[in-house]
Structure 1
Amino acid sequence: MKTIKTQVAIIGAGPSGLLLGQLLHKQGIDNIIIERVTGDYVLGRIRAGILEQGFVDLVREAGVAERMDAEGHVHEGVVISVNGQDHRINLKELTGGDVVVCYGQVEITRDLMEARAAAGLETLYEASEVQPHDVKSDSPYVTFSHAGEEFRLECDYIAGCDGFHGVSRQTIPAEIRTEHERVYPFGWLGLLADTPPCHEELIYAKSERGFALASQRSATRSRYYIQVPLTDKVEDWSDEAFWDELKKRLPPEAAANMVTGPSLEKSIAPLRSFVCEPMQYGNLFLVGDAAHIVPPTGAKGLNLAASDVATLYKILTRVYKQGDKDCTSQYSEIALRRVWHGERFSWWMTNMLHNFGEEIGGNGLDGQTFTRFMESELDYFLNHENGRRVIAEQYVGLPYEDPK
């Protein structure tokens, strides 16, 4: 077995692992990234593209913002439409200047990959049998196979950025972990097309037919979603059927402006809320989807991963710059505080904007009563400035918390 050494071992070369690696590198902290699949496979994942102000600032701090700043679309507002009536949430005005940026997760990942390669930093793709060891000790290590060789990666700390199905969370003993989960009784059917967006800002639409979302990846590429039963299959939906249903759910002006075209990709994503507590076990830290999943309503998934990265990066910088090893014990508490805020916001937005019918599940309410409560929520939060401010402040992202 070949032994290699680094200061921080990062499991997972998605955007959170790459961003953490780049930020640590900027501080002179050695790191090696281990990834199960190929770089092309990572880039092939079709994901979200709404970046909170804090995430945008973090990308700039990492020194990889050139293309984001040139090509990203700044959104100063977002539209919530209820049965064809539009309500614009003026993010910039209601938050005192904060906005969100539309720039695809694939593009962020590509920028980070290129920056890492340019800096000559090590990323080992197609690593198999990855397993952390002795994470409660001062000498943790990771074993894995790569290019026909067995490796032992010795390190000071391990960052588990390997997603919901990764090995990192499972390394924490089951009796130590508490896992909270809410599975929703519907999914999102998504379609990606090389067509111009139907609106300059995102539209979240609630109608009697169900939820819909009009979003964008660029001035020439759009991403649309509609709520569908979990029993539906992608093959049940032709492109024509999707476009027809989407137009019926969006506000009339947006539907009239829509340019349709052949799908580049179509898929159905189930929705769940999930949190693992704690997010730290010894010198192993869970980051992003390894610790938490949110429904995509509210665009918090990638942004919560970024706030985890910010917290861990600041803590590890203090460890190596100031010798303060004790500050690592703050990670889980700080990260989870923001995670739960994001989980609650995503759950709340999902409840308000989707049709549940009688499948409320766990709320202790019949479908009709739950629907009336959500109608009241929408009426208050969309028609009163203080309510719109609550949405705006959480949509652009709550401030990052520094370790004490």
Structure 2
Amino acid sequence: MRTQVAIIGAGPSGLLLGQLLHKAGVDAVIIERQSAEYVLSRIRAGILEQVTADLLDEAGVGERMHQEGLVHGGFDLLWHNQRNRIDLERLTGGKKVICYGQTEVTRDLMEARQAAGLPSYYSASEVAVHDFDSARPSVSFVHEGVRHTLECDFIAGCDGFHGVCRASVPRAAIREFERVYPFGWLGLLSDTPPVHHELIYINSPRGFALCSQRSLTRSRYYVQVPLSEKVENWSDERFWNELRARLDEPARESLVTGPSLEKSIAPLRSFVTEPLRFGRMFLAGDAGHIVPPTGAKGLNLAASDVKYLSAAFIEYYSEHSEAGLDGYSARCLKRIWRGERFSWWFTQLMHEFPEQGEIHARFQEAELEYLLHSEAGQRTIAENYVGLPLDFGS
């Protein structure tokens, strides 16, 4: 088999890249080690910046997002039992975000690829990348008991943190930066109306909490728990009681509880790989970087990676120029580190860090006191939350 771009991974990064390349007439094959059903079963957040929404429109898959997505012009910070609204629209000159679950983004992209009859291999095993430091890279894999070799011009590693692409790079050629946080987010999904029409980020003496949503009838809630916690120790009743204890009175009165559709604990980490290019193999999305979910940057940084990478591939095939490919890693990393910084900062601001002692709590107090009484401070939060422009600082 042969293609122009071999895409490893059928999450939103790989599927979006495949769709953009298809629109531009560039051939791509997607290889995914999990089943399509498993990919769609993964519960992820979904706050989309304008850059991401525009890219989904460009890919021709934005219709349902606009019909069903919830447009948010702000969010609330709950601290000292008081709600403080960060008015994104006013503070950023009209910018907003769209609440639309990552699972739905993946579904839209998957259906578009299937409708176009584009080649995708799900449940592939023994996936391996070969000769990506040469002019003739390839990917080998087993699908339905048959071993395949896919020759290609380029490999796009969109296969996540545990994928084969980054793991195949010689250790001497790569640098990895990581911080693992001493807590996770225990999340519960329920078919109940959201407690509020926008998100509520909560800094409470009992730890962080987040009131989020997927639709007008489906809610997603999180509470900070130690990494040692086990999800089986949390009944629905215990979760709802703990969430109530972290809310203010109006939210407690508005909270509608119900049976969980899904409960899980997500660990938090900051992680960046440098560089993102290794010969003819390029990393994008979670394969190259992970952010804590506090700043809602994970999917959006992945989308900007894909925007840069798709443009570079299209430029290569249409103009025979390698300028975009040569600049891909540096361009992405500049934006990635800004997103990492905001996610790290927001995580530090909103969570309990008992191991850091009373001084950290006092730093938080001083920082929140400033931010919530300063127009400039609130604008800093708002500008980063809606997403800095792609050409910021250039």
TM-score bracket for the superposition, by shorter chain length: over 0.9
Q: How does 1:171-186 map to 2 (within 5 A)?
A: 171-186=168-183
Q: How far apart, in 1, do the equivalents of 2:319 and 2:138 lie?
A: 23
Aligned residues of 1:190 and 1:226 also touching (Cα < 8 A): yes
Separation in 2 of the partners of 1:340 and 1:256? 40
Shift of 1:83: 2.1
Deviations 1:13-43 (A, max 9, x none): 0011000000111111110000001100000
Alpha-carbon distance in 2 for matches of 1:168, 1:400: 26
Gaps of 5+ in 1: 361-366
Normalised TM-score (structure 2): 0.98
Query: CA RMSD of the aligned region, Å?
Result: 1.1
- Residue 229 (structure 2) aligned to one of 232, 243, 246: 232
Structure 2: distance between partners of 1:239 and 1:62: 39
Deviations 1:99-154 (A, max 9, x none): 11001111111110110011111101111111111111121111111111111111
Q: Alpha-carbon deviation of 1:401?
A: 4.1
Alignment of 1:212-291 (within 5 A): 212-291=209-288
How many residues align structurally? Answer: 393
Q: Say if 2:362 is the partner of 1:372.
A: yes
The 5 A counterparts of 1:5-404 are 5-357=2-354, 359-360=355-356, 367-401=357-391
Cα separation, 2, equivalents of 1:92 and 1:327: 33
**Any idea what SS the aligned residue of 2:128 has?**
strand
The one-letter amino acid paired with 1:264 is L
Please tell me whether the aligned partners of residues 310 and 400 of structure 1 are also in contact (alpha carbons under 8 angstroms). Answer: no
- The one-letter code sitting in structure 1 at the alignment partner of 2:80 is N
Q: Distance in 2 between matches of 1:396 and 1:177?
A: 31
Q: How far, CA to CA, are the matches of 2:144 and 2:180 in structure 1?
A: 39
Distance 2:68 2:257 in 1: 23
Return the TM-score normalized by structure 1: 0.96
Structure 2 Cα separation of the partners of residues 155 and 296 of structure 1 = 34
- Contact persistence 1:83–1:205 (CA under 8 A): no
Tell me the CA shift for residue 318 of structure 1.
1.0
Deviation at 1:327, TM superposition (A): 2.9
Query: Equivalents in 1 of 2:185, 2:255: separation in Å?
Result: 19
Look up the equivalent residue of 1:372 and give its one-letter code: R
Which runs of at least 4 in structure 1 moved beyond 3 Å after TM superposition?
A: none
Paired amino acid for 1:374 = Q
Conservation of the 8 A alpha-carbon contact between 2:161 and 2:288: yes
Where in structure 2 are there 5+ consecutive unaligned residues? none
Identity of aligned residues (%): 62
Structure 2 counterpart of 1:312, one-letter code: L
1:202–1:216: 8 Å Cα contact kept in structure 2? yes
